[in-house]
Structures are given as C-alpha cells and as structure tokens.
Chains A and B, each alone.
Chain A
Amino acid sequence: MDKHMEAKKRNQAYNRYVQAKIPKTKPWPSLFNSFLVGGIICCIGQGINDLILLWFPNMAEQSAWAYTLIVLIFIASFLTGIGVYDKIGKFAGGGSIVPITGFSNSITSPAVEFKHEGIIYGICVKMFTIAGPVIVSGVVASFIIGVIYLFI
C-alpha cells in the first residue's frame, strides 16, 4: 500500500514536471486563423443564402437556410474527398471544425478513409465514428427540451 502511494506521488510529480516542460506556443496566431477562416466560411454561407433568395424570391426563409447548409455540406464533402479540407483544417483549427462544413468533413473523412474495408463495414459503419456523437447528443438534448416545453 505504501509502495502504491509512493508511485502515485511520483507520477503526480512527473506529470507536473512534464506539463511545465511542454513547449508553450503562442495562442494568438491560431486564434486569428480560426477567426479569419470561420468568418469567411460564414460569409460564404451568407452569400449562398442571398443568391438563393435572389433567384427564388418566393422561397420560405427556412427552406433557403436548409438549401444553404446543403450547399455548404456538399462543398465541404467534396473538398474532403479531394484532400483539401484537412489542409484548411491544419491552418484554421476551430475555424473549420465549428461550422457545418466541419460536421460534413467529420462524416466524409472516415467514409473515405475506411472504404477499403468495404461498403457496409467500411463506409457505412465508420461514417459516424466522429459525427455520431453529434447527432446522438443533439437528438437527446432536443427531446429533453421538447418534453420540458410540453409541460410549461
């Protein structure tokens, strides 16, 4: 038991030492990159939305947004396929993860990656390894909110 405590203490000391030793990078460049790229992606989304409303003036706002997101998802999925999105991601970090394009990337990238394991066990099964939790947590949370609204 004593030995166990000793090891625990040693490990804590070692972890503290390693934390102090890890090279600290300046956060500002990466924060700026994510701001820039995130802002640009949102502006592209706005542009698509405006174009859709320009061409189809009678479309409901809700549907126009749905189309906008679908177009963005298409673009991101394509860029993932041709191997460009990961390069954007390396530069932008959160800037290309947080927009809906990041969601699309997180579905397409495992699908492309695991295609050699076959359509069923590769593409279809692995497709949700990263994005699955997003859908699960979103659906669960929205259900809870719906039930709460049922009673108030």
Chain B
Amino acid sequence: MYYLWVFLIGGLVCMLGQVLIIYTNITSARILVTFVLIGVLLQAFGIFDPISEFARAGINVPIIGFGASLAKGAISAVKSKGLLGAFTGGLEATAGGIAAAIFFAFIFSLIFKSKTKN
C-alpha cells in the first residue's frame, strides 16, 4: 500500500520540476541544482525525515534525497568531528552515489557512441 504514497509523492515532486520547466524555461542543470538545494534545506530544518518515513523512495529517489543526505552527513559529522565534519560529512554520505555515477558514466562512454535524434 505504501507504493501508492511512493508514487504520489514521487510523481508530485517530479511534476514540480516540470512546472519549473514550463513556466521559467530553466535548463536541466538548474533544475537539478534547485532540487538539491531544496533537499539540503528540508534536511536542515528537520522536515526531511518525517516525510521520508511515509514517502520512502518517493522523496529519496528524487535528487532532493541526494541533497538531504549531503546535509545529513554534514550535520552528523559536525557533531562527532567538529569543524572538520562540515568539510567531510556531506561528500562522505553521498560518495557512493557520486562514485557510481562517475564510474558507470566512464565505462559506458567507452562502450557506447552518441546517436543522433529523429
């Protein structure tokens, strides 16, 4: 049953992105940046975890989740390591995703060639 929530919240978040595309004409890089910053803010104000409780993948799969883990990592690292944590925490928490994106991109770019559109 919680899949319905996942679908609804996830769909709504993505639709918000489409609203930005239609009404402000922004490019995909700007959209991604906007949503990462939204995620950072949600986490900073402690709103992200309650939403994540029931929305699960609906909020973790959108890039908001990426922003939230950056902020979460920084916040918890600050508590254990002090100022150093502010530097290391964010990337530590998201290192898996970033490394995976870089690694797969590298491998697939060696294998595939860009195809023209129709």
Contact = CB atoms under 8 A, between A and B. Distances in A.
Is chain B in direct contact with chain A in the complex (CB below 8 A)? yes
Among the interface residues B17, B43, B56, which one has the most CB atoms of the partner chain A within 10 A?
Answer: B17
A83 B62 contact: no
A142 B70 contact: yes
A134 interface: yes
Contacts, number: 283
A133 B26 CA distance: 14
Contacts of B7: 39-40, 42-43
Interface residues on B, range: 35 or more
The B interface is mostly helix, strand or loop, or mixed, namely: helix
A95 B3 CA distance: 17
Given A82-B112, A138-B90, A43 B75 contact: no
Contact of B97 (A69, A98, A147): A69
Given A108-B104, A112-B114, A146 B75 contact: yes
A77 B107 CA distance: 9
Contacts of B89: 142, 146
Interface string A39-56: 111110110010000000
Q: Would you list the 8 A-B pairs with minimal beta carbon distance, nearest first?
A: A38-B14, A42-B10, A94-B17, A146-B86, A39-B11, A142-B90, A94-B18, A146-B74
Interface of A: 27, 30-31, 33-43, 45-46, 49, 65-66, 68-70, 72-74, 77-78, 80-83, 86, 92-104, 106-109, 111-113, 115, 119, 123-124, 127, 130-131, 133-135, 137-139, 141-143, 145-150
28 contacts: A31-B22, A37-B14, A39-B6, A65-B65, A69-B61, A77-B104, A78-B104, A81-B109, A83-B112, A86-B117, A94-B20, A95-B17, A99-B63, A100-B62, A103-B32, A103-B63, A112-B108, A112-B114, A113-B114, A123-B109, A134-B29, A142-B90, A143-B90, A146-B71, A146-B89, A146-B90, A150-B83, A150-B86
Given A94-B31, A97-B32, A134-B66, 20 more contacts: A35-B11, A35-B15, A42-B11, A69-B100, A77-B104, A81-B108, A86-B117, A99-B10, A99-B62, A102-B63, A103-B32, A106-B29, A107-B105, A115-B113, A123-B110, A130-B29, A134-B36, A145-B75, A147-B78, A149-B75
